[in-house]
């Protein structure tokens, strides 16, 4: 999320889901939760990039990036502790 300007946070959870999702139900649940959250906020970031010409995008892009980074870190810490973290403000696109 940080490296790709607020729209690329979905790449790491997708890699985790594709590489280890079939081997462990726990890894799959963590990856699906993270992927849904990061996809949601990546879409918000893209909307920000599309609306940057009317100034609102200049507010949306940093907010989307910060939300993705902060809650991504929280989710990573919870996953490391073995707790399945339910991300706030996340649309369930993948089940």
SS3 of 29-88: the string is: HHHHHHHHHHHHHHHHHHHHHHCHHHCHHHHHHHHHHHHHHHHHHHHHHHHHCCCCCCCC
Domain assignment present for 89? no
Phi, psi for residue 65 in degrees, rounded to 5: -65, -45
- Residue 69: inside a domain, yes or no? yes
**Residue 4 scores a pLDDT above 70:** no
The whole-number average pLDDT for the span 68-73 is 88
- For the record, the structure tokens of 17 come out as 């889901």
Which tokens go with 94?
């993948």
Confirm whether 40 is domain-assigned: yes
Does residue 67 form part of some domain?
yes
Task: Answer whether residue 54 shows pLDDT above 90.
Answer: no
- Cα-trace Rg, the chain: 14
Would you state the pLDDT for residue 89? 83
Determine the structural domain holding residue 52 and report its residue range: 11-80
Q: Identify the pLDDT of residue 74.
A: 93
Identify whether 95 is part of a domain: no
Query: For the chain, how many structural domains are there in total?
Result: 1
Domain assignment present for residue 25? The answer is yes
Average pLDDT over residues 10-19: 87
Q: How many residues does the chain have?
A: 95
Summary mean pLDDT of the chain = 85
């Amino acid at each position: 999320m940080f490296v790709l300007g607020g729209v690329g946070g979905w790449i790491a959870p997708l890699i985790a889901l594709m590489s280890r999702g079939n081997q462990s139900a726990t890894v799959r649940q963590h990856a699906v939760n993270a992927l849904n959250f990061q996809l949601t906020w990546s879409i918000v970031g893209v909307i920000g990039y599309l609306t940057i010409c009317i100034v609102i995008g200049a507010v949306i892009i940093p907010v989307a990036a910060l939300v993705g980074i902060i809650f991504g870190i929280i989710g990573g810490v919870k996953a490391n502790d073995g707790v399945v973290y339910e991300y706030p403000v996340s649309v369930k696109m993948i089940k």
